[in-house]
Amino acid sequence: MSVTTLQTTKYANPDYRASKLKLKLEKHEPFRERLSFCDLGNSYIIFSSTTDVQTAVKQAFQLGSRDMIENAGSHLRLSILDDFSNAPELKWPPGPSDLT
pLDDT, block means (10 residues), the chain with 100 residues? 62 68 80 80 79 84 81 91 89 82
CB 19 within 8 A of CB 4: no
pLDDT at 1: 45
User: What is the C-alpha to C-alpha distance for residues 4 and 9, in angstroms, rounded to an integer?
Assistant: 9
Asked if the peptide bond before residue 93 counts as cis, ω within 30 degrees of 0, the response is yes
* Element housing 68 (H / E): helix 53-86
Q: List the domain boundaries for the chain.
A: 17-86
